[in-house]
């Protein structure tokens, strides 16, 4: 059996930075360090940081007075920042700079008098953080083309849209087109809010689907960008499964597969890709190769107080 790895796959610059922030904070301030929400959507990452002294919470009321708290890569609303300030909690912001950029753009659009439409998935922490940049009724969430028809907004209202960073490029394009059809004055970034890492991994997944009989996507169930990779496989007609670490591979999936593709979401460490390869090796002889693809050289700066730790 051939095992072909997608390039690029796995960690993006925002995830590397977010994990680095937790590790450096533990060194500088000592355990425990509180992290609001999973720093990135991956249990393996979360559990390894827990072993070093990080404590993950969903709400700031679980953080004791005076403890250092880190905001996850997905970003937070202004209400969460205000709550931390009101309690004078020392905070570090691990929000991906590409999410912060969307926050800033959202506020600018609303300041220009436009009604904001956020394209994204309800309940996702990034969506809550972005919607939470805007007060009151000026922001609307849409998840599908059908949601555009349901918007209770006059069609000549000046609209600006922004998007979640980890969406399907193709689906987002269709939703933007529907928005442009319904409203007469629409501005927005097209699909440029979808980050470089999401776009590159989706492109690599499409390449993998041209040669693979089956694709295993290493990533967590609550990882938006990993789910989008699996969907691309399904849309291309290639059986595709999200796997946490390989222990969840059903041998029946591999029946008759000559070429197995493996990729990983932006929050999945390479150690988990290696575990998946090990599981495949135990099932029979394999030959591993990497598909040529985009090389990424992006780095995000750390918060100043952690740069020299």
Q: Which residues make up the interface to ligand 0CJ (CB under 6 A)?
A: 14-15, 40-41, 73-74, 96, 99, 126, 165-166, 223-226, 265-267
Q: Of the listed 47, 62, 126, 231, which one is catalytic?
A: 126
From the list ligand 0CJ, ligand F3S, none, partner contacted by residue 41 (C-beta under 5 to 8 A by kind): ligand 0CJ
Nearer to ligand F3S, 114 or 201 (CB): 201
- 12 touching ligand F3S, by CB under 6 A: yes
Least Å distance between CB 201 and ligand F3S? 8
Residue 99 CA to residue 165 CA, distance in Å, equals 7
Q: Which residue is nearest to ligand 0CJ (CB)?
A: 223
- 166 touching ligand F3S, by CB under 6 A: yes
- 218 touching ligand F3S, by CB under 6 A: no
126 is catalytic: yes
- 202 touching ligand F3S, by CB under 6 A: no
Nearer to ligand 0CJ, 40 or 63 (CB): 40
- 266 touching ligand F3S, by CB under 6 A: yes
8, 10, 14, 132: which one binds ligand F3S (CB under 6 A): 14
Active site residue ranges? 126
């Amino acid at each position: 059996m051939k095992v072909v790895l997608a390039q690029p796959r796995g960690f993006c610059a925002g995830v590397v930075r977010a994990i680095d922030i937790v590790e450096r904070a533990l060194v500088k301030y000592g355990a425990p360090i509180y992290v609001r929400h999973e720093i990135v959507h991956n249990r393996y990452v979360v559990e390894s940081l827990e072993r070093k002294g990080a404590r993950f919470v969903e709400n700031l009321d679980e953080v004791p007075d005076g403890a250092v708290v880190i905001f996850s890569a997905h970003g937070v609303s202004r209400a969460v920042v205000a709550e931390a300030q009101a309690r004078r909690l020392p905070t570090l912001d691990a929000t991906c700079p590409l999410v912060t950029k969307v926050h800033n753009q959202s506020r600018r659009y609303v300041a220009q008098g436009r009604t904001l439409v956020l394209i994204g998935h309800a309940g996702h922490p990034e969506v809550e953080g972005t919607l939470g940049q805007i007060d009151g009724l000026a922001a609307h969430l849409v998840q599908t083309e059908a949601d555009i028809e349901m918007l209770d907004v006059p069609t000549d209202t000046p609209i600006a849209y922004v998007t979640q960073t980890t969406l399907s490029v193709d689906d987002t394009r269709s939703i933007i087109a529907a928005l442009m059809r319904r409203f007469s004055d629409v501005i927005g970034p097209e699909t440029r809010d979808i980050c470089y890492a999401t776009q590159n991994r989706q492109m690599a997944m499409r390449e993998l689907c041209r040669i693979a009989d089956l694709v295993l996507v290493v990533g967590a169930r609550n990882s938006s960008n990993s789910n989008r990779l699996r969907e691309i496989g399904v849309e291309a007609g290639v059986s595709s499964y999200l796997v946490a670490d390989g222990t969840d591979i059903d041998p029946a999936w591999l029946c008759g597969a000559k070429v197995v593709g493996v990729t990983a979401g932006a929050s999945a460490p390479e150690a988990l890709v290696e575990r998946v390869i090990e599981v495949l090796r135990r099932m029979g002889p394999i030959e591993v190769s990497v598909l040529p693809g985009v090389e990424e050289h992006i780095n995000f700066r750390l918060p100043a107080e952690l740069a020299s730790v």
